[in-house]
Structure 1
Amino acid sequence: MKKVFSLSFALLLMVSVVLAGCSSEESSSSSGDGKKVKIVAAHNQTSPDNPYQTGLLKFKEVAESESNGNIEVEVHAGTIGTEESELVEKLKLGAADVVLVSPGFMTQTGIKEVDLLALPYLFDSYEHWEKVVDGEIGEEMAKLVNEKSNNDFKIVGYWSAGVRHYYGKKPLNSIDDMKGLTYRTQTSGVLADYWKEVGAIPTSIAWGELYQALQQNVVDSSENSYPYFVQQNHHKTNNGKYISETGHDYTTRFLLVNGKKFDSYSKEQQEAILKAADASVQAEREALYAQEDEYKEKAMAEGAEVNEIDRAPFIKLAEPLQEKAAKDMEAEELLKKIKEMK
Structure 2
Amino acid sequence: MKKLVSVPFAMLLGVSVALAGCGSEEGSGSGSEGDGAEKIKLIAAHNQTTPDTPYGVGLDKFKEVAESESDGNIEVEVHEGTIGTEESELVEKLKLGAADVVLVSPGFMTQTGVKEVDLFALPYLFDSFDHWEQVVDGEVGEEVASIVNEKSNNDFKIVGYWSAGVRHFYGKKPLETMDDLNGMTIRTQTSGVVSDFWKQTGAVPTSVAWGELYQALQQNVVDSAENAYPYFVAQNHHTTKNGKYTTETAHDYTTRFLLVNGNEFDKLTEEQQEIILKAADASVAAEREALYAQEEEYKEKAIAEGAEVSEIDTAPFVKIAEPLQDAAAKDMGVEELLQKVRDLK
Q: TM-score scaled to structure 2, two decimals?
A: 0.89
> Matches of 1:181 and 1:161 in 2, distance apart?
25
Q: Per-residue displacement from partner, 1:231-276 (whole Å, max 9, x unpaired)? A: 1111111111110000001111000111111112222211111000
Percent same amino acid among aligned pairs?
A: 77
- Which residue does the alignment assign to 1:105? 108
- Of 225, 230, 233 in structure 1, the residue corresponding to residue 233 of structure 2 is 230
Q: 2:203 is matched with which residue?
A: 200
What is the aligned counterpart of 1:330 among 315, 320, 333?
333
Q: Which residues of 2 match residues 35-114 of structure 1 at below 5 A?
A: 36-114=39-117
**1:41 aligns to what SS in structure 2?**
strand
User: For residue 180 of structure 1, what is the aligned residue in structure 2?
Assistant: 183
Correspondence 1:253-264 to 2 at 5 A: 253-264=256-267
Q: Which string of whole-angstrom CA distances, capped at 9 and with x for unpartnered residues, describes residues 26-71 of structure 1? A: 9352x61x3x221111111112221111001000100111112121
Matching of residue 304 in structure 1 with residue 307 in structure 2:
yes
Separation in structure 2 between the aligned mates of residue 164 and residue 299 of structure 1, nearest angstrom: 15
Q: Secondary structure at the match of 2:33?
A: helix
Residue 209 (structure 1) shift: 2.1
CA-based RMSD of the aligned residues comes to: 1.2
Large movers: runs of 4+ above 4 Å: none
Moved more, 200-209 or 55-64: 200-209
Q: Which residue identity lines up with residue 33 of structure 2 in the other structure?
A: S
2:224 to 198, 221, 226: 221
Paired residues, what number?
A: 314
1:317 aligns with 2:320: yes
Tell me the alpha carbon deviations over residues 168-220 of structure 1, each in whole angstroms, 9 at most, x when there is no partner.
Answer: 11111111111212211122211111111112121222222222222222221
- 1:12-51 counterparts in 2 under 5 A? 27-29=33-35, 32=37, 34=38, 36-51=39-54
User: 2:135 matched to which residue of 1?
Assistant: 132
In 1: Cα distance, 2:161 partner to 2:201 partner: 29
Instruction: In structure 2, list runs of 5 or more residues that go unmatched.
Output: 1-31
Task: Name the structure with the higher helix share.
Answer: 1
Q: Report which stretch shifted further, 324-333 or 91-100.
A: 91-100
Structure possessing the higher radius of gyration over alpha carbons = 1
| 1:280 is aligned to 2:283 | yes
Distance in 2 separating the partners of 1:185 and 1:78? 21
TM-score, normalised to structure 1, is 0.89
Question: Looking at both structures, which has the greater relative contact order when contacts are Cα pairs under 8 Å and sequence separation is at least 6?
Answer: 2
Quote the Cα distance in structure 2 between the aligned partners of 1:207 and 1:37: 35
Q: CA deviation at 1:304?
A: 0.6
AA of the residue aligned to 1:281 = V
Question: Is 2:295 the partner of 1:292?
Answer: yes
